[in-house]
A = this chain, B = another copy of it.
């Protein structure tokens, strides 16, 4: 299990290769990359600043990954989240899950993203033509996280 918070960009290809590390038990590698879009709530976004809570962030992400490891049979998990100044098309987050079978890999990858979105202490501030503004939390993200608490979630 690997969790990293960093200002630097990451290379998805080499991260996935390192995660697989030629382990012949791995049959499925699901991954997700979140990227900065150039629009948000109808406004153009020229740049974004990602603030976080140093100290808590690692713990929160490790707890989320730990819960995924308890729920599903996984072989490895990687989470990288960037902080600081980001521009449209920049990568924000990478979540990658290795498992024997795809159902576990897909579910755990989506679960980690949903929990990260609602439980990890990051905050986005966008620069738009109307000025800088804090991104509002989305109701849809809360609902996405809640579905994992339903039976069969």
Chain A residues in the interface with B (C-beta under 8 A): 11-14, 16-17, 20, 22-39, 88-89, 100, 102-103, 105-106, 109-110, 113, 140, 144
Q: Contacts A14-B13, A106-B106: A89 and B33 contacting too (C-beta < 8 A)?
A: no
Residues on the B chain within 8 Å of A11, using CB: 13
Residues on the B chain within 8 Å of A34, using CB: 27-29, 102
Which single member of B32, B38, B39, B105 contacts A105 (CB below 8 Å)?
Answer: B32
Q: Contacts A16-B13, A22-B89, A109-B106: A35 and B30 contacting too (C-beta < 8 A)?
A: no
Tell me the complex Cα distance, A23–B88, Å. 9
Residues on the B chain within 8 Å of A28, using CB: 32-35
Interchain residue pairs A-B with the least CB separation, the first 4: A13-B13, A24-B38, A24-B88, A29-B33
Residues on the B chain within 8 Å of A14, using CB: 13
Which single member of B12, B29, B39, B105 contacts A13 (CB below 8 Å)?
Answer: B12
